[in-house]
Amino acid sequence: MIALITGASSGIGWATAEALAKLKYNLILCGRRQEKLDELAKQLSVDTHTLVFDVRNNESVATALTSLPENWQSIDVLVNNAGNAYGMSPIQDGDVADWDAMIDGNIQGLLYVSKAIVPGMVSRQRGHIVNMSSIAGKQTYANGAVYCASKAAVEAISTGMRLDLTQHGIKVTNIAPGAVETDFSTVRFKGDKARAAQVYAGFDALQAADIADTVAYAVSAPAHVTIADITILAAAQSAATTIHRK
């Protein structure tokens, strides 16, 4: 069985590669940094194929994915994990370049990759798509309008994909994590590590492996079961921005 993971060079994507390798999936690892993908591939005990592209560029996505060797083309599981948050500010202060980056990556990128992979699943009449959404796709919070909107779009796309693809034997799982301690907040706050650390201070945040376990659970469900939508919060978290800190 073959799984393709976008955003595999760090965080949830990296952990998902480890979890799916444990399930004996051979893995197509996609990301923007070849050396990171190589480092990940080296420690996995399954066959791997690495692809470097930016999901925001449809031409590179299409070129990379149509170049897959024949024995890597029958993808069973697509994990649309690549995505990011850039900036956090009230709407009137938002940076247009940040908005573009979030909309291009989190929405268009997911669509471009899906466009390259899903037709093959339809022709094989089997497959499983796992879309990485966020609690932010279900609950909009202050200073996060565009990030939340991009993840709300992922929620809608997951629902739409399920409506269109169930008849073709394809399952769609939407996963909505809460506060996961990765470099997510460092990227969001443009490298401000102290500010990023505050996000995860005073409680046990989710770890990338917790989300990877959920992906593994969803793809391991019996043939007659679709895990459609899972929200995962840290135990100390009750809503997107409501966290009980010590």
Active site residues: 147
Task: Yes or no: say if 131 and 158 are a contact pair by the CB < 8 Å rule.
Answer: yes
- Point out which span in 50-58, 67-75, 110-118, 132-140 binds ligand 8X3 (CB under 6 A): 132-140
Q: Does 179 bind ligand 8X3 (CB under 6 A)?
A: yes
| Gap between the Cα atoms of 64 and 113, Å rounded | 10
What is the total count of residues that contact ligand 8X3 (CB under 6 A)? 7
Q: Does 240 bind ligand 8X3 (CB under 6 A)?
A: yes
Q: Does 7 bind ligand 8X3 (CB under 6 A)?
A: no
List the one residue from 6, 58, 134, 173 that touches ligand 8X3 (CB under 6 A): 134
Say if residue 125 is exposed, middle or buried (CB neighbours under 10 Å; 0-12, 13-18, 19+). exposed
Q: How far is residue 181 from each of residues 146, 164, 195, 207, measured CA to CA in Å?
A: 21, 34, 13, 5
List the one residue from 15, 135, 152, 211 that touches ligand 8X3 (CB under 6 A): 135
Q: How far is the CB of 141 from ligand 8X3 (least distance, A)?
A: 7
Q: Does 146 bind ligand 8X3 (CB under 6 A)?
A: no
Q: Does 132 bind ligand 8X3 (CB under 6 A)?
A: no
- Region of residue 157 (phi > 0: left; psi between -120 and 50: alpha; otherwise: beta): alpha
Q: Is 59 helix (H, G, I), strand (E, B) or coil?
A: helix
